[in-house]
Structure 1
Amino acid sequence: MSAAIQPSAPEPADFRKAMGSFPAGVTVVTACHDGRLVGTTVSAFSSVSMDPPLVMVCLKRDSRTLAALSQARTFCVNILAQDQGDLAYRFAKSGADDRFALTAVEAGVCGAPLLAGSVTSVECEVRAAHDGGDHEILVGRVLRVVTDETKTPLVYVRGGFLNA
């Protein structure tokens, strides 16, 4: 009888490279807590259920957006348009306080900011939170969607944005 082979975990750089090979849509998750707007770029976003309508997003545990969202209990997933790469980079910067400075926003039905020019805005209330290692997996019940079908979504792969 042979011993079971125990595979070793991949090196972090190898794992990052492998995951970067999978094209992902680019979103900015926003929330408003105590009158303060917060947001961060997120590529780990997906639909979960059609009935009821549920989505999931993954946010870093040390994210200020996650902390505010956990208090507000509502959020918006703004699916970025192809011409919003600069916005994706701005919201990806850790600790940046001027993320909303050059961006037109409007308050959604749940109070979370909708970013002007996005392909779609998905407004949600937090339904569940799950451990995801160094991230938290949030499941949101969709309250409303706003879509502009004339826009092409922004796609990220291998460290850069795809051009259509």
Structure 2
Amino acid sequence: MSAVARDMAPEPHDFRKAMGSFAAGVTVVTVCHDGRLVGTTVSAFSSVSMDPPLVMVCLKRDSRTLAALGQARTFCVNILASDQGDLAHRFARSGADDRFALTAVKAGVCGAPLLSGAVAAVECELHAAHDGGDHEILVGRVLRVVVDEAKAPLVYVRGGFLTI
């Protein structure tokens, strides 16, 4: 980083506030590795390409989900429904071992868990990984999607959930 960029960098609190003002969908990225289910709440998710179908998700470097995904090489991005705020909170808690306890799941085509009641499930195989500072930027090649258009998505902005 150049000296100019370092001197101009925003305060972490201000940067977090600015990024929190950008409304984002809420997802839970899930992985099954060696029969163990892991997952975490993620708002940094986006489509990348239609041909081939690619998506991008960012996971913290110290995430158990990232470690499992690196081994399994497949994952599912579950796009949460407006009534799944409690699920988003449960999967966001650091170190929680009961994330799947109250949630119905079924194995997708790649083995990653699909969460019951989600707006959509995007099943992927790992296509590429890139350095993203304290996160890893993962690009997944989409294998299959499951969509429930009757459900409204959950949205996160300024520290709270909204429905549309």
Alpha-carbon deviations, 1:47-100, whole Å to 9, x = none? 000000000000000000000000000000000000000000000000000000
Q: Give 1:5 shift.
A: 9.3
Give the Cα–Cα distance (whole angstroms) in 2 for the partners of residues 9 and 91 of structure 1: 31
1:76-155 matched pairs, under 5 angstroms: 76-155=76-155
Give the Cα–Cα distance (whole angstroms) in 1 for the partners of residues 69 and 38 of structure 2: 8
One-letter amino acid matched to 2:45: F
Paired residues of 2:82 and 2:152 also in contact (CA < 8 A): yes
Structure 2 residues without counterparts, runs of 5 or longer = none
| Greater than 2 Å deviation, 4+ residue runs | 4-7
Counting matched residue pairs gives 161
Distance 1:150 1:61, change over 3 A: same
Q: Give 1:6 shift.
A: 7.7
Larger Rg: 1
Match of 1:31 in 2: 31
Match of 1:69 in 2: 69
Q: Give 1:7 shift.
A: 5.2
SS at match of 2:163: coil
One-letter amino acid matched to 2:161: F
Structure 1 residues without counterparts, runs of 5 or longer = none
Match of 2:53 in 1: 53
Q: Give 1:8 shift.
A: 1.2
Q: Give 1:163 shift.
A: 3.4
One-letter amino acid matched to 2:152: T
Percent identity, aligned pairs only?
85
Distance 1:68 1:5, change over 3 A: closer
One-letter amino acid matched to 2:118: S
Q: CA RMSD in A?
A: 1.2
One-letter amino acid matched to 1:60: K
Moved more, 50-59 or 7-16: 7-16
Paired residues of 2:152 and 2:163 also in contact (CA < 8 A): no
